[in-house]
Amino acid sequence: MKEIIKYKSKYSESDVIVLDGVPWVSLIDTAKIYKTDITEVSSSLKSIFLDDELKRSENIKVPEDRTDIEQHFLSVDAVISVGYRIDSREATKFRKWSTDIIKKYLSDGFVVNEDLLRNDPQKLNEIAAKIREIRASEQSIYAAVRECFKVASSDYVPNAQEVKSFYALLQDKFHHAVTKMTASKLILDRANHLEPNMGLTSSKADFVSRSDAAIGKNYLSENEIYRMHLLSEQFLIYAELNSLSEKKLTMKGLHKKLDDIIVLNGFDVFDGYQDFVKDQAIEHAKKEYELYIEIKKLEYLGVDVDLESFYAGDYDHLKEETKKITLQKLRKNLSVEKV
């Protein structure tokens, strides 16, 4: 996660890029912090690395699309070390400030640049969408509803089969609203070993896994995901408001309210399962995954795979070789396919 925080020194205002809780400062912004030029900062860095005070590889980050030295980024340690050679008081001030930023990220999970968000509606919309995405994840929805139930439910029994079915139906109502398909039918319709990433648009790892292939929501398009997030947010707000009002919630009542929200937003309501295809979907995902991985392994061996020959079994003599290729090897050597 990338965030931009403003740092105000006694000389100027500089941008600090926070990547996953770790602050980085460009060479040019480091020069601004200490009211000097890039040449002096570069000279100080050279001395720091020559003296083995810091390792260059751990303290310099160069964006792949930028070759100009002004856009090289320095770690907090590098910025502070440069400061002690130029302006020790300002270096101490920056060290305290950056330590506070890191502590806040570790304790809260985020750092907010309030001034930037107030003055940049687009950035505000971006962070709102990110929060909505997190809240709308299945884990967040179920956790929030579960907490609401603990407070105000009249028919909630943890781990009961009825409750598990309740959550599965909730999930499929969201899926059906934006795709007209349940999670299982999404897998049957979209899992395809011929597609990049097997048709998946998201996965936990950097390479398709068997478990990811068996999850319906992983095949949703960006637009479908966004619409589902909006629906989920509305449902969460309703559940939380009722919980705060100490109104009794029932599983039937929550399903009815979700249907109302779906209709209000112009989507079709899921009218129930007409057939049971979950096992069929899991088997389909497994089959497509195995074909996808086998093709990737053949490509790893340098084979220009002809699909007709592949289906005819013409590459079966290489199976002993492909069996030796682990998924770890594929992850390391194959570039991730993006949709």
Q: Would you say how long the chain is, in residues?
A: 339
| Rounded-to-integer distance, Cα 330 and Cα 146, Å | 39
Residue with tokens 């039918």: 185
What is the pTM (predicted TM-score) of this model?
Answer: 0.60
Per-residue pLDDT in tens (0 to 9) along the chain, 339 residues: 567 777 877 777 888 887 776 788 889 888 888 888 899 889 999 999 998 889 988 888 886 655 555 568 998 889 888 888 887 777 788 777 777 766 665 555 555 555 555 666 676 566 566 655 655 555 556 566 666 655 555 666 767 787 778 878 888 999 999 999 999 999 999 999 999 999 998 776 667 889 999 999 899 998 898 888 888 888 878 877 776 776 777 778 888 888 999 999 999 999 888 888 999 999 999 999 999 999 999 999 999 999 999 999 999 999 999 999 998 888 877 644 433
Q: Measure Cα distances from 130 to 2, 43, 84, 230, 233 in Å.
A: 12, 40, 38, 12, 12
* Ordered DSSP codes for 151-209: HHBSS--TT-HHHHHHHHHHHHHHHHHHHSS-HHHHHHHH--TTSGGGG-S--SSSS--
